Chain A
Amino acid sequence: MDWVFTDDRPIWQQLSQQLTRRILTGVYPPGSKLPPVRELAAQAGVNPNTMQRALAQLEQSGLAEANRTAGRLVTEDLQAIERARREQARQIIADYLRAMEELGYSFDQAAALLKEE
């Protein structure tokens, strides 16, 4: 999975979103150890401070927890992961609806089209 950044938002937000996606898709499974900040930053080609901020955001949303001895672990709380998955799904749906609205479809039409496909 490549790290891709857009111009419109702070990089740390995009990083934290892409880290979340990696957790949801199992690249970093529940309970596994996340790579150290510096390594992650080098991987993504970003500033370590920015990566640190993204990871802090991840901790805040309960997807990761700092462990004094083992570094940073992905949470084992499956409910938290499920919540995050739902949150991402909601966002994708919102994006879809907004795009359809621009094309002139109503909410019901958009939903019907989705089912048809």
Chain B
Amino acid sequence: MSEMLIESWGLCKSYGRKAALSGVDLSVGRGRIVGLLGPNGSGKTTLIKLLCGLLQPTAGRLAVAGQEIGPETKALISYLPDRMYFAGWMRAVDLLDLFRDFYPDFDYEKAVAMCHSLGVEPGHRLKTMSKGTKEKVQLALVMARKAQLYLLDEPIAGVDPAARDFILHTILTNYNEEGTVLISTHLIADIEKVLDEAIFLKEGKVMLHETVDNIREREGKSVDALFRDIFRAQPLEGGAF
């Protein structure tokens, strides 16, 4: 078993001419909750999609638990995308069955219990549910796995404070402690106290990778405040055009 859970060397990804990630070197250990922080378009989602194999790198290398991205690493990863991935015909129970069939680390009873606590009947069509409920069902599925790596892409974007607390509580009480949770977000204040480490992404590069304790101790301010300092929109400087 590799010491590091996520490792990347000079990882680059571009869409056409636009570079989304340029030269990302990263190593993330086990048993951590890590914030992947950056403004929109900084490459957070790109990095997560590369990790779960939905995108292919343009250059550089990437490994999860010491292995190249493939079916073996996909079995270790529990991924919450930034969108709905249900097929129109599916009921909640179809999705539960699917997870049970493909992921040996999926706890079916736990997922059913989580659905019930959301007021979701497994026999109901997912299509008929509200957006918020669908998102919660998806989160329940993802967190009902005892995965090595949880990749949560913007889990708290666009939800009200009560739902946000529910989501963070669900993550904290269900994740596998030997595994690592990578949460991407631009809402840092909300999530800061659950993090061990923070990775700041800016324009496709890693600006900072540090433990939250160290940041607070060294800077004497919160990660959120530091983030605002680093990413404060620069006023147009003279001669830029």
Contacts and interface: CB of A to CB of B under 8 A. Distances in A.
- Given a CB threshold of 8 Å, the question of whether A touches B is answered with yes
Main SS of the interface on chain B? helix
A9 to B, nearest CB: 6
B177 A48 contact: yes
Contacts of B65: none
B213 A11 contact: yes
B220 A47 contact: no
B187 to A, nearest CB: 14
B196 A47 contact: yes
Contacts of A5: 193
Contacts of B32: 49
Contact of B216 (A10, A48, A49, A53): A10
A97 interface: no
B interface residue count range (under 10 / 10 to 19 / 20 to 34 / 35 or more): 20 to 34
Contacts of A11: 192-193, 212-213, 216
Contact of A45 (B31, B172, B212): B172
Contacts of A49: 31-33, 196
Interface in A50-92: 50, 53
B234 interface: no
A108 interface: no
A41 interface: yes
A42 interface: yes
Given A47-B196, A49-B32, A49-B196, A8 B221 contact: yes
A2 interface: no
A interface residue count range (under 10 / 10 to 19 / 20 to 34 / 35 or more): 10 to 19
Main SS of the interface on chain A? helix
Given A7-B221, A7-B222, A38-B173, A47 B33 contact: yes
Nearest to B193: A46
A107 to B, nearest CB: 27
B213 A48 contact: no
B229 to A, nearest CB: 12
Contacts of B216: 7-11
Nearest to A53: B213
B213 A12 contact: yes
Greatest chain B CB density within 10 A among A11, A44, A47 is at A47
6 contacts: A11-B192, A38-B173, A38-B177, A41-B172, A45-B172, A47-B194
Given A41-B172, A42-B169, 5 more contacts: A7-B225, A10-B213, A47-B195, A48-B172, A50-B212
